Amino acid sequence: MERVEIDGSYGEGGGQIIRTAVALSAVTGKPVRITKIRANRPNPGLRPQHLHGILALKQLSGAKVKGAQVGSTELEFIPGELKFEHVKVPIKTAGSITLVLQALLPAMAFVGGSFEITGGTDVPWSPPVDYLKNVTLHALRRMGLNVELDVRRRGHYPKGGGLVVGSVEPWEERKPLRVLKAGRIRGFSGISHATNLPAHVAERQAKVARERLGEFYNVPVEIETEVSRSLGPGSGIVVWAETDGLRLGGDALGKRGKPAEVVGREAADELIGSLKTGASVDKFLGDQLIPFLAFAGGEVAVSEITNHLLTNVWVVERFLGKIFKVEGNVGGPGRVEARGVSF
């Protein structure tokens, strides 16, 4: 089968290119070679969190892999046959568990499987696990894909130590996702957590987020608080809107010297900003849905077209041909339409 060539410095030029390309290679059976991996970043090449995603997909598809080591700027992935697996991914740092799942889920969807991943659940520059569980997986269920996910332990930067387990049912009926408006906002939910920190940190984050959302919307706001122990301290909050369409989310992480009130307000304001556009999905979900829209089809309105989204579309179309139509400019709201590929 003809090999797909991917320029790893294209567009956004980050780890997402690797995750999407290797996942689609595993699904389609097409070998892929990725060159110039993260070429424009301060520390080019594969980082540990990218490597863990590649190795998990190698196990899932019985692939042959060349260049799978930290620092490598070129990778060749030659997939075998996808099969049901229990995949264990032991990230020994705070490498993002959700980014590993971004690589695993599109491939695991076609055969089912289960996973056990240790690492970071709530770390900078990646979706918090509560966002993935309550916003992303909610949308995937609407598309007919059922994923169960359980957060057994939190993991924050720099020590990690989080533990997430779950399972994926084979994607039997792929339902197109056509949601162009958020519609009526029915209420807000959320989770505010503090790990190895006093309970009042989680409570203050939740209180301010609750008050801020209440300033703009006269609907119920229910934010749970969670206090836990792990390898190191950390806090964060994820809030989401229950709408007539899908869920839109906002999140923020705590850090040393950053008041809990600022954390809560940041998450609420991010969500309010997305809702003001009237779009059916926020900018993070819009980006994450791309590989799934490729196979199920559909159309969504996105609160913001990002370089991440456009890069993800480009990678998918290297494997599946021209199947997306994106309207709107980077930094503004837009629409994404996909003609689902039978597979």
Give the pLDDT confidence of 129-183 residue by residue, as tens digits: 999 999 999 999 999 999 999 999 999 999 999 999 999 999 999 999 999 999 9
Mean pLDDT across the stretch 194-222? 98
User: What was the pLDDT predicted at 202?
Assistant: 98
251 pLDDT more than 90: yes
343 pLDDT more than 80: no
User: What was the pLDDT predicted at 288?
Assistant: 98
* DSSP code for 341: P
- SS3 annotation, 150-205: EEEECCECCCECEEEEEEECCCCCCCCEEECCCCCEEEEEEEEEEECCCHHHHHHH
How wide is the angle at C-alpha 50 spanned by C-alphas 47 and 51, nearest 5°? 85
Mean pLDDT across the stretch 86-99? 95
Count Cβ neighbours within 10 Å for each residue of 57-77 and write b for 16 or more, e otherwise: bbbbbebebebbeeebbebbb
The average confidence (pLDDT) of the chain is 97
Q: Decide: helix, strand or coil at residue 325.
A: strand
User: What was the pLDDT predicted at 80?
Assistant: 97
User: What was the pLDDT predicted at 1?
Assistant: 76
Q: Which two tokens stand for residue 28?
A: 């389609």
CATH code linked to domain 182-276: 3.30.360.20
Q: Where are the alpha helices (DSSP H) in the chain?
A: 15-28, 48-61, 97-108, 129-131, 137-142, 199-216, 260-276, 283-288, 290-296, 307-320
Q: What share of the chain in percent tops pLDDT 90? A: 96
State how beta strands 185-195 and 221-228 pair: parallel
User: What was the pLDDT predicted at 289?
Assistant: 98
49 pLDDT more than 90: no
User: What was the pLDDT predicted at 249?
Assistant: 98
Binning pLDDT at 50, 70 and 90, where does residue 314 land?
very high
Give the pLDDT confidence of 184-193 residue by residue, as tens digits: 999 999 999 9
Handedness of CA 335, 328, 19, 194 (dihedral sign): negative
57 pLDDT more than 90: yes
User: What are the boundaries of each domain within the chain?
Assistant: 87-173, 182-276
User: What was the pLDDT predicted at 48?
Assistant: 87
How distant, in Å, are the alpha carbons of 209, 248, 276, 326 from that of 279? 21, 9, 8, 14
**Would you list which residues are annotated within the binding site for ATP?**
102, 284-288
Binning pLDDT at 50, 70 and 90, where does residue 240 land?
very high
User: What was the pLDDT predicted at 95?
Assistant: 93
Q: Is 32 left (phi over 0), alpha (psi -120 to 50) or beta?
A: beta
What's the N-to-C CA distance of the chain in angstroms? 16
Q: How many CA atoms lie within 13 A of 208 on its CB side?
A: 20
Binning pLDDT at 50, 70 and 90, where does residue 342 land?
confident
User: Is 200 in the active site?
Assistant: no
Mean pLDDT across the stretch 213-234? 98
110 pLDDT more than 90: yes
Handedness of CA 136, 138, 141, 143 (dihedral sign): negative
